[in-house]
Amino acid sequence: MPISIDNFEDVPGDILDIKEGTQPYRILQFLSQHDAQAFTQTEIHEATDIKRGSVGAALSRLEDRGLVRHRGRYWAIAEDDRLASYAAQTQASSISTTDDYYGEE
């Protein structure tokens, strides 16, 4: 769906435009939750249930955008301020669903 040029001009350039539930989103979510580690494509495939052949393509697109880094066979979340904010938001989301707020069933 097209947007007006005014909206186009007003969109900040530093936001992460990755839709929830997509393969890149799932990979970033996994890597941000394990930001002190690096993983092979096979390990990412096993952890995210994304098809093995799709993991490499998604990682390459994320690397092109500077969101993941790559050394040898291993991939990790990039060091980027946008990702630090993303990781904090993801962690807050996870905590809010597991805290005592909801009480016992």
pLDDT mean over 28-38: 93
pLDDT of residue 23: 92
pLDDT of residue 104: 53
Separation CA 73–CA 71 (nearest Å): 6
Which of 31, 25, 24, 26 lies closest to 58, judged by CA? 24
**What structural domains does the chain harbor?**
19-93 (1.10.10.10)
- Contact criterion met (CB below 8 Å) for 61 and 47: no
- Please tell me whether the overall predicted TM-score, pTM, comes out greater than 0.75 for this model: no
Separation CA 51–CA 44 (nearest Å): 10
pLDDT of residue 90: 57
Which of 9, 33, 21, 8 lies closest to 83, judged by CA? 33
DSSP per residue, 8-23: HHHS-TTS----TTSH
